[in-house]
Every structure is written in C-alpha cells, then in structure tokens.
Amino acid sequence: MQQPNPWILFMGGLMLFQVAAMVYGIKAAPEWAKLLGALIVAACGVLSMLIGLKRQFGKKPEPPKKVQLKRERNATRSSSDLN
C-alpha cells in the first residue's frame, strides 16, 4: 500500500480543528462532554499535522541499490561457467 501524501495528512489535521469546533457547538451535551470531545478531536488534528510535516521535511530514505535484471544474472553465471 502506498503511503498517503504528507500534505493530505496536514490538511486533514486542519479539518479536524473544524470538527472540534462543531463538537464544541453541540447544544444538547453538557459542557464537560463538549470540551472533552473537542479536545480529543483537536489533539488528533495536531497529531495528524505533525505526522504530515515530519514525513514531508524529515530525512528521506536511501534510494534502493541497483538490482540486477535476471538476464544480467544469467549472463554473468554463464560467463563464469565457461572459465
């Protein structure tokens, strides 16, 4: 599976702040439940933004070493067999 684009994670974190504002705006819930729900969603938003920024600006992995094609491996084997 391919990893998500880091900027999508960052934008998703920003959208979670809007969800936190909607959770805090619920009128039927008690104040402590609204605040707790908004804090949990906002914390998930911050985490998503940090993961996205870390993936974008973090150390990039080393590119893979050159892999020999099957044809090349067979050619080197046959030349070593002749010697």
- Name the residue ranges covered by the structural domains of the chain: 1-60
Give the tens place of pLDDT for each residue, 7-61.
999 999 999 999 999 999 989 999 999 999 999 999 999 999 999 999 888 887 7
Neighbours of 18 (CB within 10 A): 11
- Residue linked to tokens 């949990």: 40
pTM exceeds 0.75 for this model = no
More confident residue, 25 or 63: 25
